[in-house]
Amino acid sequence: SYTGQLLVATYPLIGNYGVPDDKVEHGLPVNFESDRIQVSALIASDYTEDYSHWNAHQSLGDWLKKHKIPALFGIDTRALTKILREKGTMLGKIIFDDVDPGFTDPDQENLVAKVSTDKVIEYGSGETRVLLVDCGVKYNIIRHFVSRGIKVIRVPWDYDYAKIAFDGLFISNGPGNPKMCDTTIQHLTKSLQQDIPIFGICLGNQLLALAAGADTYKLKYGHRSHNQPVLQLGTNKALITSQNHGFAIDSDSIPPDWETYFINLNDGTNEGLRHKTKPIFTVQFHPEASGGPTDTEYLFDDFLKNVQSFKKNKA
């Protein structure tokens, strides 16, 4: 979800923890959520090469160099954050040696095509099969499924999965403007005509909304923190969630056969949808955490209950 963004760290000292190694287990990196750094650049106040952590393998600077990601420090990031907080999300650029790269608007690009896998990859060995449409998936999502005995079939964002046999459909998180993913939306529109269980997270939430006939819009600030409170409608249950998104579903455009599932308790915006008669739901936040709170991990179990019920009825 960070692709195309300049990341500003508000904590003053950056780099003192270092970066862990790239150990792999079950086909997934243990310490990372993707195969490479996704931000376009890092902006910090103070940076140190002197790291100290039991799991550290290299410095932040060496890691950034390895992935060819520019970084800038010595900046008053509190002042910069105040500008962003008051004026909202805006385009930015970093100029080195008086070479001006110009502005690039990531909202006008299909960022998902840049971060999605380009091949079909399978994880786990369970009998229950979940097809995962990779729009920029965080690896902890896959870990959650595999740890529950699920076989995950990860496919590219524009893959036509109509001829693949699976028991549940998952649409992942990812970066950018959801309206740039026309092919994914077209595939989801066809899937919504069936009764197969579907679960979407973050960008997946927005893509399913567009496929269902709802609309999305860009937030002025976006939701970007590990402490976003949401309310599950129909209950008095408030939950703390991790979020990183700049777009949201227009609640006034939700079709009559759908309902709002969660709302954000800070600004009242939509945080999820649920179909009234089919086993389909989506959330805007990240129940898989990593990092962040785990209040909503149960949603993976809710989805898999739908999957098992569908599988039983199909048999």
The catalytic residue among 187, 245, 275, 286 is 286
pLDDT surpasses 80 at 315: no
Tens digits of per-residue pLDDT, 57-101? 999 999 999 999 999 999 999 999 999 989 988 999 999 889 998
User: Residue 286 catalytic?
Assistant: yes
What tokens were used for 23?
């150990």
pTM above 0.85, yes or no: yes
Give me the residues paired with residue 109 across strands: none
Mean pLDDT, rounded, for 46-58: 96
Confidence of residue 269 (pLDDT cuts 50, 70, 90): very high
Mean pLDDT, rounded, for 208-231: 96
Cis peptide before 291 (omega within 30 of 0): yes
Q: What gap in Å lies between CA 121 and CA 3, rounded to an integer?
A: 22
Q: Residue 314: CB partners within 8 Å, gap ≥ 6?
A: 167
User: Residue 109 catalytic?
Assistant: no
Tens digits of per-residue pLDDT, 98-152? 999 899 999 999 999 999 999 999 999 999 999 999 999 999 999 999 999 999 9
Give me the residues paired with residue 27 across strands: none
What tokens were used for 89?
């999300």
Show the domains of the chain with their CATH numbers.
6-104 (3.50.30.20), 112-314 (3.40.50.880)
User: Residue 202 catalytic?
Assistant: yes
Q: Dihedral (C-alpha) 139, 187, 166, 150: value to the nearest 10 degrees? A: 20
Quick one: residue 17, left, alpha or beta (phi over 0 = left, psi -120 to 50 = alpha)? alpha
The catalytic residue among 144, 181, 202, 245 is 202
The catalytic residue among 223, 271, 275, 288 is 288
**Mean confidence (pLDDT) of the chain:** 96
